[in-house]
Structure 1
């Protein structure tokens, strides 16, 4: 991993919520509700976590114009980071 990716990895890994959401997006494009179910994080926290991941360049919304049913996926950086996240460490 390059230095920028390592910094983003550190940012994700210091938060159990960010780590769980990134891990939940590992293989698929998902809605916030699906991410909530898959990660075990309450829906009211998911939007904040997704905003943080988008701002850091780890995740992206592919239909930003939609009011409901937005779809999120990992960026290339996010794909690299998810390979190194181990949820069991916590």
Structure 2
């Protein structure tokens, strides 16, 4: 059975996203589509290393997930329900680091 994160846990993860421009942009990019890291890098203008670290950090916290974990190339990532909830909450606060 899945455990739903508490509101405090969600706000802690929102803080985790907000302190990293790379995490925020990577998560925002995955909001609408499933992408490979190279596609995320091109869309966000982040370096592949920045995207890789952001994905790794968010995957550990179950904010994103890899759809084909066994692939050595062409891994595809998507937001989890938690990731979508974080984006929705950030949108509600008017947060935009690019302003």
Shared fold (TM-score greater than 0.5)? yes
| Runs of 4+ deviating beyond 2 Å | 85-90
Partners of 2:45 and 2:56 in 1: CA distance: 18
State TM-score, norm by structure 1. Answer: 0.90
Unaligned residue ranges in structure 1 (runs of 5+): none
Q: Which position in structure 2 is the counterpart of 1:65?
A: 70
SS in structure 1 opposite 2:16? helix
Cα deviation, 1:18-76, whole Å, max 9, x if unaligned, reads 01101111101100011101111011221111100101111110100001000001111
Higher relative contact order (CA 8 A, sep 6+): 1
State TM-score, norm by structure 2. Answer: 0.83
Aligned residues: 90
Coordinate RMSD, CA, aligned: 1.6
Task: Confirm whether residue 13 of structure 1 aligns to residue 18 of structure 2.
Answer: yes
Unaligned residue ranges in structure 2 (runs of 5+): 1-5
SS in structure 1 opposite 2:51? helix
